[in-house]
Amino acid sequence: MSRKPVHLAVYDTLADWETGFAAAHLARGGYEVRTVGASADRPVTSIGGLRIVPDLALDSVRPEDSSLLILPGADLWDAGDDLAPFARTARAFLAAGTPVAAICGATAGLAREGLLDDRDHTSAVSFYLAATGYGGGPRYVETDAVTDGLLVTAGPTEPVAFAREILRLLGVYEGEVLDAWYRLFHDSDAQAYAVLEKAAAR
């Protein structure tokens, strides 16, 4: 069965480590991962100095053509309004019934857009989001990652939990296989590998 691609937003200062687990295992699970920038012809540079040429421009991405929009953290989320168009795109995705996953600074972008006011969510710390002036404080959850309907959120130190929620949401892994995947990559539990190997052989 043909799957719609996953769209991964890329912009200057994006945090390299935050989406690697998700992107790699989505690709292994049969999803094409396409990068989306403000412009398709302007390379961006990550915090780690990686130079990325986006596959697509943001204004050409439509929710109905996507399985998921992933928004990584970046210094730019807190340095002005340069990334506000990505938060507005997240609003359009959610309104159309297409999932969105945001981690670290991207959660602040969604807070400023009003997308966390009525959804359970998490981030780096509660006062980080409170500084945006958003109205969702009572819905903040102190945990590694949160899924509320079609929205996944996580803090910057939880790339594996972030990926876990995405993989669950899209049905890449489920049940004991998802649990084993998390235990292997988060806890270095060698016993979990056997569960994954058995599942792969089926």
Please list the active-site residues.
104
CA distance 129 to 145: 15
**Which one, of 78, 91, 69, lies nearest residue 169 by Cα?**
69
User: Residues with Cβ < 8 Å from 49, sequence gap 6 or more?
Assistant: none
CB-CB contact of 131 with 161 (8 Å): no
Helix (H) or strand (E) holding 101: strand 100-103
CB-CB contact of 172 with 26 (8 Å): yes
